[in-house]
């Protein structure tokens, strides 16, 4: 793909044009895939094709901007809420359940799933698309989770030899089943979602020997 260096354009008018371009590009990519024409995006944004290239340089950079904007909008509350609850709460189970619920709700929105499927279909041609998705997506919860786990490890309330592996395992228990099912057009119902979160968080905490402030492990939920 031919790459053109975008120009640095500032001011309210430029910002409004970028917003229009991103909105039009997101709709076009979801509707037409990565083959969406820049001419069409420009027309739907009410700008010229030259303006699109001036702001973003090429279609790959524009798509990465769309991914970043979509994830930022969808995950902003989940990210801030995760950090706040993990920092302030002494109840790790409750904090992780809230986090899992917020991330599943955000990451399974139909438009976001459509963009994710587009990324996975094009990542061989454009590896930077995968990097952009990871950097703007679930990986952004990593620092808050790692900080909370390390604090509890230091307090003797978690036994966790590898924090990064543990974070991947948590995602695998509560979030990844939704993403796997979505690849072939299936969705998990509310009951299954709740069960995955409840039992997944409990399995995670039991495996890593979590203890509350009183030295007790996670309570076994009633069945």
Domain map of the chain by residue range? Answer: 1-57, 75-207
The pTM score is 0.77
Q: What CATH class has 1-57?
A: mainly alpha
Q: What is the dihedral of CA 173, 141, 92, 187, to 10 degrees?
A: -30
pLDDT for position 218? 60
Are the C-beta atoms of residues 148 and 86 closer than 8 Å to each other?
Answer: yes
| CATH fold for domain 75-207 | Tetracycline Repressor; domain 2 (1.10.357)
Check whether 220 has a pLDDT greater than 50.
yes
If pLDDT is split at 50, 70 and 90, which confidence band does 164 have?
very high
Instruction: Express as a percent the part of the chain with pLDDT over 90.
Output: 48
Three-class HEC string of 125-153: CCHHHHHHHHHHCHHHHHHHHHHHHHHHH
Check whether 3 has a pLDDT greater than 70.
no
Q: Do domains 1-57 and 75-207 have the same CATH topology?
A: no
Q: Worst-scoring range by mean pLDDT, 140-144, 153-157, 188-192?
A: 140-144
């Amino acid at each position: 793909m031919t790459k053109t260096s975008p120009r640095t354009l500032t001011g309210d008018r430029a910002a409004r044009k970028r917003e229009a371009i991103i909105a039009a590009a997101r709709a076009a990519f979801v509707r037409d895939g990565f083959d969406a024409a820049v001419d069409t995006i420009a027309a739907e944004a009410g700008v010229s094709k030259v303006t699109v290239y001036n702001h973003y340089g090429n279609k790959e950079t524009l798509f990465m901007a769309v991914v970043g904007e979509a994830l930022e909008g969808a995950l902003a509350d989940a990210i801030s809420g995760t950090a706040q609850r993990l920092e302030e709460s002494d109840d790790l189970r409750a904090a992780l359940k809230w986090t899992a619920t917020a991330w599943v709700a955000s990451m399974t929105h139909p438009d976001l799933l459509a963009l994710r499927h587009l990324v996975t279909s094009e990542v061989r041609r454009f590896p930077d698309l995968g990097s952009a998705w990871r950097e703007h997506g679930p990986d952004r919860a990593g620092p808050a989770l790692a900080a909370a786990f390390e604090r509890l490890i230091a307090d003797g309330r978690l036994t966790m030899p590898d924090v990064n592996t543990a974070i991947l395992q948590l995602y695998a228990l509560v979030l990844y089943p939704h993403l796997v099912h979505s690849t072939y057009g299936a969705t998990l119902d509310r009951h299954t979602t709740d069960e995955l979160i409840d039992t997944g968080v409990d399995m995670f905490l039991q495996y890593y020997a979590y203890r509350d402030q009183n030295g007790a492990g996670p309570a076994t939920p009633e069945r």
